[in-house]
């Protein structure tokens, strides 16, 4: 998870894509000054590779629309209901 304060130019947040397999969400409050980016990875190794190889470039792109250095935190999923959602979608 990445949390950051936004600048007034944040309305022009760049669209970021990755070749790594992840589900990424960017949460903002309209007119707010904070954003939270959350990415869900299929494998820990892919997340580590992204952080090591691609994230430094992403930081450079975001430097124009965020204030300070984003706070990066890592979590492990302890419980999920995604399998129930997936099962309903395929039924």
Domains, the chain, in order of start with CATH, read 2-90 (3.30.70)
Residue 50 has a CB neighbour count (10 Å cut-off) of: 18
d(CA 82, CA 14): 28
Question: Is the pLDDT reported for residue 76 higher than 80?
Answer: yes
Q: How far apart are CA 57 and CA 73, in angstroms?
A: 18
**Percent of the chain surpassing pLDDT 70:** 66
Average pLDDT over residues 26-53: 84
Read off the pLDDT band of 2 (50, 70, 90).
low
Mean pLDDT throughout 59-80?
Answer: 83
Q: What is the pLDDT, as a whole number, of residue 88?
A: 65
* pTM for the full predicted model: 0.59
Whether 26 shows a pLDDT value over 50: the answer reads yes
| Residue where the block lists tokens 């869900």 | 40
């Amino acid at each position: 998870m990445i949390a950051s304060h936004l600048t007034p130019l944040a309305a022009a947040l760049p669209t970021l894509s990755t070749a790594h397999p992840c589900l990424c969400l960017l949460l903002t409050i309209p007119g707010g000054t904070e954003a939270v980016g959350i990415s869900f990875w299929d494998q820990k190794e892919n997340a580590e590779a992204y952080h090591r190889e691609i994230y430094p470039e992403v930081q450079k792109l975001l430097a124009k629309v965020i204030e300070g250095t984003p706070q990066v935190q890592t979590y492990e999923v302890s419980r999920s209901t995604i399998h129930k959602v997936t099962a309903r979608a395929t039924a």
